[in-house]
Amino acid sequence: MIGITGASGYVGQFIVRYFLDHGYRVRALSRTGRKSGLFPCATSSGFEWVAGDMADRHISSKFVRGLNAVVHCAYDHIPGRYRGGEGKDLSRYLESNLNSTLGLMQEAHSAAVDKFVFISSRAVYATGHLRGSLYEHQAARPETFYGAYKSAVEAMVSAWAQQRQWHAVSLRLTGVYGVVNPLERSKWYDIARAVVSGKPYTKARAATEVHGEDVARAVELVLSEEDAKGQAVNCSDRLVTYREVAEILQSMMGKRSPLPPEAEGEPPAAMDCAYLQGKGFHFGGTERLHHSLRLLAEAVQLERRLYQ
């Protein structure tokens, strides 16, 4: 059985759905508890919820009992913000994220959970000063408390793997896209709303992205590969701009309005994904981007018809 923390969160939803769809038994931990209809593919025999905060050792102990692996996606932050998610209370942020994560790792190892995957971030890199590629062997130089928290846990993942020979892995994600529940949390939802309404979208941005299902596939791979133990593995697909997203959505919906401006300045540094690609892993690329945007377009059009 696979245990997934932050199961109702943005990244967690993709991972839960993927593992359920591929025949795994899943135990989902969420502070908000069971959410009816979030995972319609779940069956009572192969899926269970644990409601509560992993900072509560009684909850985390109950959660890890009998698991084969833990995928740790949970992240407590100010809504809508990853970087800067600590707000004004850094102590509470570190207690809720860093200390709780380290406690969860200890609980999992003590309960003889075989494997642990920590969902990390490209925020461990000093991305504001780097150009070109971000390599997995580069030293972490975080510029934010979010990146520092992720980097600190990555160091403990490496230590657990080396000192206790535990199959612990960090998976560093770039921006993640895809359709989630509720729909308005989906990346580029606001662009789709503007397109379906025939209104211009004026913000400009370029960022590296990966689809949530590719993230889940990468999790499955690092769980299965023995040499992933102790590694920090990059997971990023391609550069996407708001202008490209709007152009694709307009084509799909048969709409026309002024496109967002081109993003200014140097493009963001790309994450080199040597480990995954060395294992024959292929990202979804442009085809998956178009498929995901079609699903988003259809969902937003349906929403508009229902609530007009």
CA torsion, ordered 6, 233, 116, 78, to nearest 10 deg: -20
The 10s digit of each residue's pLDDT in 270-296 is 999 999 999 999 999 999 999 999 999
- What CATH code would you report for 2-176+210-235? 3.40.50.720
Amino acid at residue number 174: T
Q: How much is the pLDDT for 42?
A: 64
Q: Give the model's confidence band at 244: pLDDT under 50 very low, under 70 low, under 90 confident, else very high.
A: very high
* pLDDT band of 77, cuts 50, 70, 90: low
Q: Are 256 and 211 in contact (CB under 8 A)?
A: no
- Using 50, 70 and 90 to split pLDDT, how confident is the model at 35? low
The SS3 of residue 241 is strand
CATH 3.40.50.720, the chain: domain bounds = 2-176+210-235
Distance CA 136, CA 269 (A): 13
- Average pLDDT over every residue of 23-41: 78
* Domain 183-208+238-270+285-307: CATH class, spelled out: alpha beta
∠ CA 169-170-176 to the nearest 5 degrees?
135
> What is the maximum span of the chain, computed from C-alpha positions, in angstroms?
60
In the chain, residues under CATH classification 3.90.25 are 183-208+238-270+285-307
Q: What pLDDT, on a 0 to 100 scale, did the predictor assign at position 262?
A: 93
* CA separation for the pair 39, 20 (Å, rounded): 9
**pLDDT at residue 43, as a whole number:** 64
| Lowest mean pLDDT segment, chosen from 12-26, 67-81, 141-155, 215-229 | 67-81
Distance CA 3, CA 50 (A): 10
Residue-averaged pLDDT of the chain: 92
**If pLDDT is split at 50, 70 and 90, which confidence band does 45 have?**
confident
Q: What was the pLDDT predicted at 129?
A: 56
Q: Is residue 240 predicted with pLDDT exceeding 70?
A: yes
Mean local confidence (pLDDT), 21-25: 95
Measure the CA–CA gap between 300 and 282, rounded to whole angstroms: 29
pLDDT for 128 beyond 90? no
Quote the pLDDT of residue 32: 72
Residue 54 has pLDDT above 90, yes or no: no
- Strands 167-173 and 206-211 turn out to be unpaired
Rounded CA-CA distance 186/300 in Å is: 10
Instruction: Write the pLDDT tens digit of every residue in 97-112.
Output: 999 999 999 999 999 9
Name the pTM for this structure. Answer: 0.95
The upper half-sphere exposure of residue 21, i.e. CA atoms within 13 Å in the direction of its Cβ, equals 12
> Which pLDDT score is estimated for 82?
60
Q: What is the pLDDT of residues 157-171, one digit of tens each?
A: 999 999 999 999 999
What pLDDT, on the 0 to 100 scale, is given for residue 131? 67
CA–centroid distance for 237 within its chain: 13
